[in-house]
Amino acid sequence: MKKSIGAITIVFPTPVFVVGTYDKDSKPNAMVSAWAGICCSDPACVSISLREATYTYSNILESKAFTVNIPSEQYIKEADYFGIVSGRTEDKFSSVGLTPVKSELVNAPYVKEFPFILECSLLQTIKVGLHTIFIGQIKDVKVEKDVLTKEGSPDFEKIKPLIFNPANRTYYGIGECLGKAFSIGKK
């Protein structure tokens, strides 16, 4: 039996993406987006939804670039901090002690300490309502060597990404592997 809970913005799971940008004075900034994900395979693109009120919004319009940085569990406090304060009033990288590295491919910084990062150039913006979708073309993905499998593929269980539960605003880790996609359904 289903109960209606209204037109709310809750789905499961949502990611914890730290978005890296430069402001007009080249100060690096980082914010958190849970409303984001891959949106095209060719060209390879990722989208993030931002309110105009955020510092990152104007940074991307100016720099035409951003990075998506995926924190591992061990950086839960730093990632959460990035979502609490504004880059307008603070140098967040300095506050949490993480290192911004200037991308050689796009005009944006990535988080040195995070295991998995995407470097993106702005391809398109779409105003939906309060939020605007920023579509970034993925120019490269960089992964810490110690979270790669022997075959050189990103190892989910070593990366240990955070999962955001928007219903009560909590972070979760990943659980057990339950099966192979495009396979378990054949049974």
Q: Which stretch binds a copy of itself (CB under 8 A): 20-28, 39-47, 59-67?
A: 39-47
Single out the residue of 40, 58, 61, 64 in contact with a copy of itself (rule: CB under 8 A): 40
97 contributes a contact to a copy of itself by CB under 8 A: no
Give the Cα-Cα-Cα angle 141, 84, 15 (nearest 5 degrees): 40
Q: How many residues bind a copy of itself (CB under 8 A)?
A: 99
Name the one residue in this structure whose structure tokens are 């790669």.
Answer: 148
42 contributes a contact to a copy of itself by CB under 8 A: yes
CA–CA separation, 77 and 114 (whole Å): 13
Residue 157 phi, psi dihedral angles, 5° rounding: -75, -20
CA–CA separation, 3 and 125 (whole Å): 35
| Cis before 43? omega within 30 | yes
- Which parts of 126-165 interact with a copy of itself (CB under 8 A)? 126, 128-131, 133, 135, 137-145, 148, 152-156, 159, 161-165
180 contributes a contact to a copy of itself by CB under 8 A: yes
Pick the closest to residue 85 from 51, 48, 54, 63 (CA basis): 54
**Rounded to the nearest whole angstrom, what is the least distance from the CB of residue 122 to a copy of itself in the complex?**
13
| Cis before 166? omega within 30 | no
83 contributes a contact to a copy of itself by CB under 8 A: yes
Q: Which stretch binds a copy of itself (CB under 8 A): 22-30, 59-67, 123-131?
A: 123-131
64 contributes a contact to a copy of itself by CB under 8 A: no
CB-nearer residue toward a copy of itself: 4 or 89: 4
